[in-house]
Structure 1
Amino acid sequence: SAFVENTRKLKIGDPLDKDTDIGPLVREGQVSLLEGQIKNAVSMGAKVELEGGRVEGNGYYFSPVVLSNASLDMQVMKEETFGPVAPIISVENESEALDVANATEFGLGASIWSSDKEKASLLACQVQSGVVGVNGLFKPEADLPFGGVKKSGIGRELSRFGFYEFMNIRSTVLF
């Protein structure tokens, strides 16, 4: 598929290099977590469409993995991943897609991809997530609030909304 081929072309490397698409994971434990989630998914019937994984060498690099035939009972769908693993669940319609997207206990980020931006924008309003990208992935910026919902957290950082999270505002009333 075009998704798999485009994912295959992503450059893994130094995050300070402007041509890098995927930098390292935060720690060894995260690499092991992803490996376990992938192993669990495959044992439960997921099909590996793009076989990536641990990249040997310095750093905790992990090349992208694409899994088809994923299901909601797999660890990769029930746990936060924080790595380049794309589990794909096929659905019949938009309503089912929203049900799948909102079935998780987490809600940090989501993305909707469509040639119909108006329809995608309407769907984005129904996704239970702190941030949603339409036809792209959200990258935190200083002027946009960032944070999750459900078990992905409460509150926001960045933007004026994030600034208020770190303030203790008090009212003083003189009579």
Structure 2
Amino acid sequence: CVLELGGSDPFIVLNDANLDEAVQAALIGRFQNSGQVCAAAKRLIIEEGVVEAFTAKFLEASRNLVMGDPTATETYIGPMARFDLRDELDGQVQATLAEGATLLLGGSKVEGAGNYYAPTVLANVTDQMTSFKQELFGPVASIITARDADHAVALANDSEFGLTASVFTTDPQKARSIANQLETGGIFINAYSVSDPRVSFGGVKKSGFGRELSHFGVR
């Protein structure tokens, strides 16, 4: 038996990271498939030395995402799977804003035909807020500030989920050290989370148990 039960994956960006690469990866990692991905980059944990610059770049890139007909080539944000899921997502966003987060982009259902939710960026999210504690399965990014690398690890592990995580830094030794401390089934260094038939995939904690793919899957 294999259970893959979703997650609230941390996406850590340290002060020495290549910000342009980190922003592009965060954009894809959070908004691909309209944010409806189990291993999406749901909690963007940014070290305080670069959080302002990262937020500005990420916000600009998010504003340029095209929402519309999912069969159109230029579309990046399509509709959500079900109306009740969109309502649930909006409830989580509104709860997070009521708890003190800052809305930088989106934050609402789109009127008219189709089950669309506007690409949303929440800043100043803390570990006590809804979008930090729960899985947001839609096009919503939560930006969380970490004091340093140790704080980033603590924030990443402060979750009932543990599917995958990403770490962005130009220091390979630091990346490996952080990877060894993270409570997740998979770690991606300077990349957003993906699945690959050469590597096993699965989570820990409430993200499930067992492993898909690789020789585990064959057996």
- TM > 0.5 fold call: yes
Select the structure with the greater relative contact order (CA < 8 A; seq sep ≥ 6): 2
CA deviation after TM superposition for structure 1 residue 17, in Å:
6.0
2:136 to 81, 91, 99: 81
CA deviation after TM superposition for structure 1 residue 58, in Å:
4.9
- Secondary structure of 2:165's counterpart equals strand
Amino acid at match of 1:131: G
* Distance in 1 of aligned mates of 2:190 and 2:64: 18
More strand by share: 2
Contact 2:200 2:214 survives alignment (8 Å) = yes
* Distance in 2 of aligned mates of 1:122 and 1:102: 14
Contact 2:90 2:107 survives alignment (8 Å) = no
2:164 matches 1:109: yes
2:73 matches 1:26: no
Identity %: 42
Amino acid at match of 2:191: G
* Distance in 1 of aligned mates of 2:111 and 2:191: 29
CA deviation after TM superposition for structure 1 residue 45, in Å:
0.5
Which residue pairs with 2:212 in the alignment? Answer: 157
2:126 matches 1:66: no
Q: What is the TM-score with the length of structure 2 in the denominator?
A: 0.64
Amino acid at match of 2:169: S
Question: Relative to structure 1, is the Cα distance of residues 59 and 126 closer, same or farther in structure 2, using a 3 angstrom cutoff?
Answer: farther
2:195 matches 1:140: yes
- Secondary structure of 2:187's counterpart equals strand
Contact 1:65 1:84 survives alignment (8 Å) = yes
Question: Relative to structure 1, is the Cα distance of residues 152 and 117 closer, same or farther in structure 2, using a 3 angstrom cutoff?
Answer: same
* Distance in 2 of aligned mates of 1:149 and 1:24: 30
2:63 matches 1:8: yes
Amino acid at match of 1:139: V
CA deviation after TM superposition for structure 1 residue 25, in Å:
2.8
Which residue pairs with 1:126 in the alignment? Answer: 181
Q: What is the TM-score with the length of structure 1 in the denominator?
A: 0.79
Query: 13-22 or 151-160: which moved more?
Result: 13-22
Question: Relative to structure 1, is the Cα distance of residues 61 and 161 closer, same or farther in structure 2, using a 3 angstrom cutoff?
Answer: farther
Unaligned runs of 5+ in 2: 1-55
Amino acid at match of 1:106: F
| Root mean square deviation, CA, Å | 2.4
Question: Relative to structure 1, is the Cα distance of residues 58 and 104 closer, same or farther in structure 2, using a 3 angstrom cutoff?
Answer: same
Which residue pairs with 1:168 in the alignment? Answer: none
* Distance in 2 of aligned mates of 1:15 and 1:115: 36
